[in-house]
């Protein structure tokens, strides 16, 4: 073994060690931080595995099911799958950066990713973004191998096949994965050497394989009136509140906060330079990054876009940053990269500290790291009230709310993990509309206990008013504080609807 080979192995080992330590840290915080409603909602999906769900494809539900099968219905069990695929995505990115440049680039990519607040916080959570980033990065790595091989060769075709499998997994993770092949197509049409790839079977093999992997999601949607596709199209393209300028400003501001200001600027520079590069591999990465990022910038002109939607754009951008830093060998540029990683690391650390022991001057109600706190108290109180009601009247008491947030959090935090209901009378349609509801499983004379957010002085609210004729009585039982420590984050009113008449108001949503 030569000294140069030894150094290469050492550099790769350092890069993998960095991302592994970061994954262990994320696993620790995955255990500590309480689950916010979106994660308990996905946990509910994992109890009803299917080819698709109202909001997203099923990959996150499969990951959660695997984790909870091993570690139980705990925060760690829910999140460990996401932590693991986040680690794998980091390793794939390290390998991609190494291919683009050398071992030093791999280390730069590892440090930049781990210091990015979006990755530090986002890869703790059990959301569809975790499997998406895993599959997205694996697809880019396979594509880099494919376009580096001789066009049309058996080796190239095998890598195109691998890219198709990875792309199919991306489709099964989140629908915005469709922007990846769009970016690849743009690069292939723009660069003559890449255009030759379109005259080989590889890209078409990849497309067919990706569709085959995605086929269960398509079939599920076909059996459910394309509800998931329709929801996401409406979610992403319908007009929204605010002005176009305010929405664009909010989107860019969110990106700067999640990526860190300096790193965001550096990534924009390397993507722009990569687009002008003569190297096809860098053009492809730039095209994918720009396609994802600009798509949501354009969409924000009509509808608010969530900050995490653009997360895949940063995967190829980090690879380009690492390769550019290695190639440039500029002290000034290296200092900027160091400053970017330092600032990002401080911001990521602040997020971790804030989630465990709040230090920033943010109220619990406005703090996104506190969204999972207090739900255990609500669930416990509702269970006490339900047991008391059953002891007094002998009636069966079902639990739920009008939104998936209350329904899923109550189900998760009760030891028996009972079936709960999200009525969605005033709340938006969601997966609970596709499952058996209260009217499908309850019997005449059963009671229904519901939790509602306290938003106004109107203690009754439209949901209770609408349901009241279908029960003998309706009573406000309690107001429960959802706290972060001693601070009240929000409140929930707990209503009891007694002795159901076995009829129900017509549903406002038809799947």
Residues 418-445 have pLDDT tens digits of 999 999 998 899 999 999 999 999 999 9
Q: Is 475 helix (H, G, I), strand (E, B) or coil?
A: strand
Between 368 and 5, name the one with better pLDDT. Answer: 368
Closest C-alpha among 185, 188, 105 to residue 151:
188
**Pairwise CA distance, residues 6 & 44, whole Å:** 49
Q: Is 397 helix (H, G, I), strand (E, B) or coil?
A: strand
Parallel, antiparallel, or unpaired for β 420-422 and 397-401? parallel
Residues 108-164 have pLDDT tens digits of 999 999 999 999 888 999 999 999 999 999 999 999 999 999 999 999 999 999 999
Closest C-alpha among 262, 361, 373, 295 to residue 35:
373
Q: Using an 8 Å Cβ cutoff, are 297 and 304 in contact? A: no
Supply the pLDDT for residue 509. 47
**Pairwise CA distance, residues 327 & 507, whole Å:** 61
Supply the pLDDT for residue 301. 83
User: Which two structure tokens, joined as six digits, stand for 412?
Assistant: 């998760």
Asked if residue 239 has pLDDT above 70, the reply is no
Asked if residue 251 has pLDDT above 60, the reply is yes
Average pLDDT, the chain: 93
Residues 157-179 have pLDDT tens digits of 999 999 999 999 999 999 999 99
The residues, any chain, with a CB within 8 Å of residue 151's CB and separated by 6 or more, are: 196, 197, 199, 200, 202
Q: Is 167 helix (H, G, I), strand (E, B) or coil?
A: helix
Q: Using an 8 Å Cβ cutoff, are 109 and 93 in contact? A: yes
Supply the pLDDT for residue 238. 61
User: Which two structure tokens, joined as six digits, stand for 8?
Assistant: 């290469």
Write down the residue that tokens 């880099």 correspond to: 144
User: Which two structure tokens, joined as six digits, stand for 246?
Assistant: 């305010």
Supply the pLDDT for residue 1. 43
Residue 431 has what DSSP assignment?
Answer: G
Asked if residue 511 has pLDDT above 60, the reply is no
Q: Is 442 helix (H, G, I), strand (E, B) or coil?
A: coil
What's the whole-model pTM score? 0.94
Write down the residue that tokens 């080989």 correspond to: 200
Question: What is the average per-residue pLDDT within 466-487?
Answer: 95
**Pairwise CA distance, residues 251 & 175, whole Å:** 19
Residues 176-207 have pLDDT tens digits of 999 999 999 999 999 999 999 999 999 999 99
User: Which two structure tokens, joined as six digits, stand for 9?
Assistant: 């192995």
Question: What is the average per-residue pLDDT within 13-38?
Answer: 96
**Pairwise CA distance, residues 408 & 337, whole Å:** 42
Q: Using an 8 Å Cβ cutoff, are 148 and 281 in contact? A: yes
Residues 197-237 have pLDDT tens digits of 999 999 999 999 999 999 999 999 999 999 999 998 887 66
Question: What is the average per-residue pLDDT within 250-258?
Answer: 89
Closest C-alpha among 46, 31, 44 to residue 77:
31
Q: Using an 8 Å Cβ cutoff, are 188 and 194 in contact? A: yes
**Pairwise CA distance, residues 378 & 480, whole Å:** 6
Supply the pLDDT for residue 116. 94
**Pairwise CA distance, residues 97 & 84, whole Å:** 20
Supply the pLDDT for residue 236. 60
DSSP-based helix, strand, coil % in the chain, nearest 5 = 65, 10, 25
The phi, psi pair for 394, rounded to 5°, reads: 80, 0
Name beta bridge partners: 420: 399
Supply the pLDDT for residue 458. 66
Supply the pLDDT for residue 510. 44
Supply the pLDDT for residue 456. 66
> What are the start-end ranges of the H helices in 224-279?
227-237, 244-259, 261-275
Per domain, the residue ranges of the chain are 3-356, 375-500
Per cent of the chain over pLDDT 90 is: 82
Closest C-alpha among 312, 338, 313, 315 to residue 325:
338
Supply the pLDDT for residue 6. 46
Asked if residue 466 has pLDDT above 80, the reply is yes
């Amino acid at each position: 073994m030569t000294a140069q080979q030894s150094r290469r192995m050492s550099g790769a080992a350092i890069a993998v060690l960095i991302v592994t330590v970061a994954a262990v840290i994320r696993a620790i915080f995955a255990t500590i931080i309480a689950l916010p409603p979106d994660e308990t909602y996905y946990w509910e999906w994992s109890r009803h595995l299917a080819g698709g769900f109202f909001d997203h494809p099923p990959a996150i539900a499969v990951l959660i099911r695997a984790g909870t099968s091993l570690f139980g219905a705990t925060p760690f069990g829910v999140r460990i799958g996401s932590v693991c695929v986040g680690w794998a995505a980091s390793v794939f990115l390290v390998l991609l950066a190494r291919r683009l440049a050398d071992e030093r680039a791999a280390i730069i990519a590892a440090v930049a990713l781990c210091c990015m607040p979006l990755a530090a916080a986002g890869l703790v959570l059990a959301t569809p973004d975790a499997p998406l980033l895993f599959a997205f990065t694996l697809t880019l790595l396979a594509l880099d191998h494919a376009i580096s091989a001789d066009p049309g060769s058996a080796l190239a075709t095998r890598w195109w096949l691998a890219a198709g499998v990875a792309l199919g997994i991306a489709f099964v993770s989140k629908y915005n994965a469709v922007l990846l092949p769009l970016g690849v197509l743009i690069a292939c049409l723009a660069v003559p050497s890449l255009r030759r790839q379109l005259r080989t079977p590889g890209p078409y093999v990849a497309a067919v394989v990706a569709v085959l992997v995605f086929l269960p999601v398509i079939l599920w949607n076909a059996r459910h009136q394309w509800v998931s596709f329709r929801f996401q199209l409406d979610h992403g393209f319908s007009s929204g509140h605010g002005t176009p300028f305010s929405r664009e400003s909010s989107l860019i501001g969110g990106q700067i906060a999640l990526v860190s200001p300096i790193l965001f600027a550096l990534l924009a520079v390397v993507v722009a330079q990569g687009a002008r590069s003569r190297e096809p591999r860098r053009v492809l990465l730039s095209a994918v990054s720009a396609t994802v990022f600009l798509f949501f910038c354009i969409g924000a002109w009509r509808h608010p876009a969530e900050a995490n939607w653009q997360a895949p754009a940063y995967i190829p951008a980090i690879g380009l940053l690492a390769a550019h830093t290695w190639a440039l060998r500029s002290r000034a540029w290296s200092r900027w990269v160091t400053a970017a990683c330092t600032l990002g690391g401080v911001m990521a650390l602040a997020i971790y500290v804030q989630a465990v022991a709040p230090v920033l001057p943010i109220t619990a109600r406005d703090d996104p790291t506190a969204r999972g706190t207090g739900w255990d108290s609500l669930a416990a109180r509702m269970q006490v009230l339900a047991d008391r009601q059953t002891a007094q009247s002998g009636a069966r008491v079902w639990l739920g709310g009008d939104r998936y947030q209350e329904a899923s959090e109550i189900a998760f935090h009760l030891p028996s993990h009972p079936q709960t209901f999200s009525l969605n009378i005033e709340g938006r349609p969601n997966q609970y509309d596709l499952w058996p509801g209260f009217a499908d499983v309850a019997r005449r004379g059963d009671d229904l206990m519901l939790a509602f957010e306290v938003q106004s002085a109107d203690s009754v609210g439209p949901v209770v008013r609408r349901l009241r004729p279908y029960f003998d009585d309706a009573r406000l039982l309690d107001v429960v504080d959802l706290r972060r420590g001693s601070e009240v984050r929000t409140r929930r009113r707990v209503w009891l609807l007694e002795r159901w008449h076995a009829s129900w108001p017509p549903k406002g949503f038809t799947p």
